[in-house]
Structure 1
């Protein structure tokens, strides 16, 4: 599993629940555990496959909760009307695209890649969304290093 470098202030379950209420979101159990353990930061290794057609990307950072540049609340606000209903941004890649967590069925807990260069007019059009993993743990386990030199 990937390690997260430069993670932020440790969070309690109460702080996460308060964040959910304030931001009208509902996190999955695995994502809450991720926030309690890491609260954002920079993954190592950081490469992931989007699709055969889209290729590979480098994960830049996971957003965290609290007073920081990569504040999850800010990114939820920024993408509220751009992402399909039931998705929140949890990270970004080096190209400015976002990694999203599904918070409602049928995408609950699933991790998707949102390609900003293919952003449709209708945010609920998922033509620019690519499935990455069944949950945050699987996504972290799938990150890898570039072994070509």
Structure 2
């Protein structure tokens, strides 16, 4: 079972709706429930598998809404023209890659890993995107502890 350390301040549904309106994004129901419960923070355990060829990584921190260092709105602005249409950056790893939530079909609710080392000039080129989970809950369930190497 994943626990989140240093979660953000408690949110209301109204604050999430205001965030969606201001940022012109429709968050998924499961992700809204995650924000209502945790609003960002540091997961323990935190290791996840990317793919057979990519190996694994560490989920550093989930972005949250409000006055915090890992502010979701600011991170969305940073990646606005870098991520494929319909994805928002909900977390990152220590190497500067981001974990993305699909907010539009056909990727709605899906979680992907975006590898900045393979970034294309065309943001809608998904060759640097790796499927991680069907939704935020599955991503949390897939996190595990590993041996320090």
Fold conserved between structures, TM > 0.5:
yes
Task: Tell me the CA shift for residue 94 of structure 1.
Answer: 1.2
Task: Tell me the CA shift for residue 11 of structure 1.
Answer: 0.1
1:117-136 matches, within 5 Å, as 117-136=117-136
Find the counterpart in structure 2 of residue 66 from structure 1. Answer: 66
Find the counterpart in structure 2 of residue 14 from structure 1. Answer: 14
Aligned equivalents of 1:33, 1:80: Cα separation in 2: 24
1:36-47 matches, within 5 Å, as 36-47=36-47
Aligned equivalents of 1:119, 1:147: Cα separation in 2: 30
Find the counterpart in structure 1 of residue 88 from structure 2. Answer: 88
Could you give the per-residue CA deviations for residues 79-128 of structure 1, whole angstroms, max 9, x where no partner exists?
00000000000000111100000000000000000000000010000000
Task: Tell me the CA shift for residue 147 of structure 1.
Answer: 4.2
CA RMSD of aligned residues (A): 1.0
Aligned equivalents of 1:8, 1:84: Cα separation in 2: 27
Find the counterpart in structure 1 of residue 50 from structure 2. Answer: 50
Task: Tell me the CA shift for residue 71 of structure 1.
Answer: 0.3
Aligned equivalents of 1:51, 1:120: Cα separation in 2: 19
Aligned equivalents of 2:2, 2:28: Cα separation in 1: 19
Could you give the per-residue CA deviations for residues 29-53 of structure 1, whole angstroms, max 9, x where no partner exists?
0000000000000000000000000
3-state DSSP class of the match of 1:95?
coil
TM-score by length of 2: 0.98
Instruction: Give unpaired runs (5+ residues) of structure 2.
Output: none
Aligned equivalents of 1:87, 1:2: Cα separation in 2: 24
Distance 1:7 1:122, change over 3 A: same
Distance 1:148 1:95, change over 3 A: closer
Number of residues paired by the alignment? 149
